[in-house]
Chains A and B, each alone.
Chain A
Amino acid sequence: MEYTIYILLLPLFTFIFIGLLSNKLSHKTAGIIGTISLTIITILSYMTAFEYFTTQKINGVYQTIVPFNQLWLNLGANLHIDLGIMLDPISVMMLIVVSTVSLMVHIYSLGYMKGEVGFQRYYSFLSLFTFSMLGLVVATNIFQMYIFWELVGVSSYLLIGFYYTKPEAVAASKKAFIVTRFADLFFLIGILILSFFTQTFDFGILMSGDGSIFNSAIGTTFIGGSVLTWAMALIFVGGAGKSAMFPFHIWLPDAMEGPTPVSALIHAATMVVAGVFLVARLFPIYIGFTPEVLHGIAYVGAFTAMFSAIIAIVQTDIKRVLAFSTISQIGFMMVALGVSGYEGHEGLGYMSSMFHLFTHAMFKALLFLGAGSIIHAVHSNEMNQMGGLRKYMPITHLTFLIACLSISGIPPFSGFFSKDEILTATFNFSNGLGIWMTVVAFLTAFYMFRLYYNIFWGKEYKSENGHIPHESPISMTFPLIFLAAVTLVSGFIPFGKFVTADRAEYIIHLDWTVATISISVAIIAILLATALYRKPSNIPSKIVSKTKGLYKAAYHRFYIDEIYLFITKSVIFKGISQPFAWFDRHIIDGAMNGLAWITNWTSLKIRGFQSGQVQWYAYVFLLGTLLITILAIAI
């Protein structure tokens, strides 16, 4: 499968081509070049997936294959960094997810970004992102993954700050970059520790099941844990930063300042699940050697899921609701990974996490693209400026409804299957966690339908200047329809046949007890939302006034941003940075400046001697000679 290399090279060349010629190309040409390139990539990805899943199964177990691997940096006798392509079930699945969503976003942007200044730049950045994300998922070693990990961070930064004349967008892009970069520092430290003790970066060796390479890392202890535990925990911190897990979630809601298709691609479907992908990629190490870290991941995920679901209920900006919903759903995936075992039924968590990653990517991209369509029509992000839009935008309405039903977990939509399996896996782990996640599922259904009713039902749409919302053009509705179709059918994919922790086939059985519970809580939540928000009523505002403190705290996202600002501004900047800055300016610079000042002063004083008058020089020379002569005679 040597052609897989083109999956990486093509978007890179597209990025360079559109980026360099951005002034020469017209908007249309740039968009079409980008879209065609992405179409080819998508076709190649599907070919890869088909060929991989049909031919690489030996004794019922999918093999890892490396079609391409190139030595990139030699660090020593047996430590080297390669760049290459590794195909295994999860990377092939990610190829499909990334290329599909990216293609849809490329098509969608043709309509959504029409006439924007910097259209070509936008498309070149999209290609850069696609390249980085594909490079991340097919990485053969953890260092290559880290390189592309940073590249997706950069392209995310560039795309969030696409409207660089808007101060909020610039601030949001910086925030996203700094927060994720801060988490990536821990990731890097984790990689370095892991590779120092195991003497390899290569996933193939790390995942070979040979425990002996970890012996030295397990044997060395550091502050109450083995070094391996620390390394794996630090690596997870990097994943938590990218996947917006608490407390690194603060960048994701602000990242919604970027263009909406970008939010759909990067901040809903692909980049933010990189953390989940990372944990899944290193899953054999987590489960085999550091299960305590894995349980920690489950609790972080569970807390984040609940936390952001509560915030999502009270947000009024539709994209922020979706952003918090994304954080919550990634929490679900993390929980599923955290509670998973390795083989057979035990490995249900892993399988369901990957399944949820897949279905979530599709329906969340659909939700975001739908939100983009709505914003395109009403020119606002705020819920209270919408309402009654179902008459004006039938296609958007229908597809959005499908996505809402899917994320709420209503059969037969895809979200039901994946979420149900996550809940089953969680209940298998512990009842407490299972109930906790069921409550989150309840909240999910509630806030999604609050969003839905507020946009499409509720009060009638009133425009201020006679503007009537209209359905979006075909380039925008086609991706909606396509993704809605995927959402409709993807639940029936026998996912356990393709992606499992031990790579052997696992037949999914619906656990009807759990399924009944999850369906009934979803329906109750939807009915509750219907009662509250379908028609304009004052019940919601009454509830708000009764629970004022909680509402206000949730509306302000529990003041996490403020805590961050306080810590950085008042503690770190004032307490640490300012003294350092003073020391630097006054002591270090002062010493250097003093040296320069002394030199200057001395030269001012003695420069009179060098007058350029040869006769004066001769006079001094004569005096000197006489002096030496007298001294020579005297001594």
Chain B
Amino acid sequence: MIELLVNSVSIPMVAFLIVSLIMFFAGVFGFLTRKNLIMILISVELILNSVDINFAVFNRYLFPEQMEGLFFALFGIAIAACETAVAIAIIINIYRRFGNVDVDNVNKLKG
């Protein structure tokens, strides 16, 4: 049944890419417009995840016998995790210093 579903219902590659595109631009939009650092971080995660989707999709559709794309996706996830950890640490420090996580307040490093 499941096999049937997978084989018979053929989802075109473009559909995955459209989802990925929407995620990407939603991320970019969030990154540009949000002032809250947490929201910006979430937006960055969205961008990264949309890229991961692309990796997986291209691997699956174009080179099904190879695994590099999937590994890259995994790699991206790992990077995203690290990056989140670092970013959260920074955000916590910012919160301790300023009492909020509004990005407009963080301008003390400006040259």
Q: How far is the CA of A618 from the CA of B103 in the complex (A)?
A: 14
- Please report which residues of chain B, range 24-83, place their CB below 8 angstroms from some CB of chain A when the two chains form the complex: 28, 31-33, 40
**Cα of A615 to Cα of B32 in the assembled complex, Å:** 5
Min Cβ gap A632→B in Å is 17
Judged by a CB distance under 8 angstroms, whether B8 is at the interface is: no
Q: Is A612 an interface residue (CB 8 A)?
A: yes
Is B103 within 8 A of A615, CB to CB?
A: yes
Would B31 and A612 count as touching, CB distance under 8 A? no
B96 at the interface (CB under 8 A from A): no
Query: Is the beta-carbon distance between B110 and A618 smaller than 8 angstroms?
Result: no
- Asked whether B103 lies within 8 Å of A612 as measured between CB atoms, the reply is no
Looking at A614, A615, A618, A619, the one whose CB has the most chain B CB atoms below 10 A away is A615
Q: Are B31 and A615 in contact (CB under 8 A)?
A: yes
Measured in the bound complex, the distance between the Cα atoms of B107 and A614 in whole Å is 10
Binary interface encoding of chain A residues 88-106 relative to chain B, with 1 for a CB under 8 A from any of its CBs, else 0: 0000000000000000000
Q: 8 Å CB contacts to B: which residues of A616-632? A: 618-619, 622
Map CB proximity to A onto B1-41 as digits: 1 under 8 Å, 0 otherwise.
00000000000000000000000000010011100000010
One of B31, B107, B111 near A618 (C-beta < 8 A): B31
CB distance from A328 to the nearest CB of B (A): 75
Inter-chain contact A612/B32, CB cutoff 8 Å: no
Question: Chain B: which residue is nearest A614 at the CB level?
Answer: B103
Q: How far is the CA of A330 from the CA of B68 in the complex (A)?
A: 104
A622 to B28, CA, bound (A): 9
Interface code B76-111, partner A: CB below 8 Å = 1, 0 otherwise? 000000000000000000000000000100010011
Shortest distance between the CB of B77 and any CB in chain A (Å): 22
Contact B28 A612 (CB under 8 A): no
A618 to B31 Cα, complex, angstroms: 8
Interface size class of A (residues with CB under 8 A): under 10
Give A622 to B33 CA distance when docked, in angstroms.
13
User: Which A residue's beta carbon lies closest to that of B35?
Assistant: A615
What residues on A are CB-neighbors of B107 within 8 Å? 612
Docked Cα-Cα span, A622 to B40, in Å, equals 16
Tell me the bound Cα distance from A619 to B32 in angstroms.
Answer: 6
CB distance from B22 to the nearest CB of A (A): 16
CA–CA, A344 and B89, complex, Å = 106
Chain B residues within 8 Å of A614, by CB: 103
- Rounded to whole Å, the gap between the CB of A611 and the closest CB of chain B is 9
Chain B: minimal CB distance from A523 (Å):
93
A148 to chain B, nearest CB (A): 57
Cross-chain contact of A622 among B32, B103, B110, B111 (Cβ < 8 A):
B32
Alpha-carbon distance A306/B36, docked complex (angstroms): 99
Give every chain B residue within 8 A of A618 (Cβ-Cβ). 28, 31-32
Q: Give the shortest distance, in Å, between B14 (CB) and chain A (any CB).
A: 17
Nearest opposing residue in chain B for A616, CB measure: B32
Q: Which A residues are in CB contact (< 8 Å) with B33?
A: 615
Give complex CA distance A377, B28 in Å.
Answer: 99
Residues of A within 8 A of B32 (CB): 615, 618-619, 622
- Expressed in whole angstroms, the Cα–Cα distance for A515 and B40 within the complex equals 115
Distance of A619 Cα from B40 Cα, bound (Å): 13
Residues 587-619 (chain A) with a chain B CB within 8 angstroms = 612, 614-615, 618-619
Q: Which residue of A lies closest to B107 (CB)?
A: A612
**Alpha-carbon separation in the docked complex, A614 to B110 (Å):** 11
Within 8 A of B (CB), among A476-494: none
Q: How far is the CA of A615 from the CA of B40 in the complex (A)?
A: 10
Within the assembled complex, what's the spacing in Å between the Cα atoms of A614 and B43? 14
Across the two chains, which residue of chain A brings its CB closest to B31?
Answer: A618
**Chain B: minimal CB distance from A44 (Å):** 69
Q: Name the A residues within 8 Å of B110 (CB-CB).
A: 612
- Tell me how far the C-beta of A327 lies from the nearest C-beta in chain B, rounded to whole angstroms: 69
A615 to chain B: which residues have CB within 8 Å? 31-33, 40, 103
User: Considering the chains assembled together, what is the distance between the CA atoms of A106 and B3 in angstroms?
Assistant: 121
B44 to chain A, nearest CB (A): 10
Q: Provide the residues of chain A in CB contact with B28, threshold 8 Å.
A: 618, 622
CA distance A619 to B33 in the complex (A): 10
Bound-state Cα–Cα, A615 to B43, Å = 12
Complex-state Cα separation, A299 to B33, whole angstroms = 97
- B33's closest neighbor in chain A, by CB? A615
Query: In the complex, which residues of chain B have a beta carbon less than 8 angstroms from the beta carbon of A619?
Result: 32
Report the bound CA distance from A619 to B28 in whole Å.
9
Residue of A nearest to B104 (CB): A613
A619–B30 alpha-carbon span in the complex (Å): 11
List the B side residues contacting A612 at CB < 8 Å.
107, 110-111
The docked-state distance in angstroms from the alpha carbon of A580 to that of B40 is 64
Measured CA separation A51–B14 after assembly (Å): 115
Distance in angstroms from B1 CB to nearest chain A CB is: 43
Beyond A612-B107, A612-B111, A622-B28, 9 additional pairs, beta carbon < 8 A = A612-B110, A614-B103, A615-B31, A615-B32, A615-B33, A615-B40, A615-B103, A618-B31, A618-B32
| 5 A–B contacts from the bound complex (CB under 8 Å) | A612-B111, A614-B103, A615-B32, A619-B32, A622-B28
The 9 closest A-B pairs by CB, nearest first: A612-B110, A619-B32, A615-B32, A618-B31, A618-B32, A622-B28, A612-B107, A615-B31, A615-B103
Interface residues of chain A, those whose CB is within 8 Å of chain B, are 612, 614-615, 618-619, 622
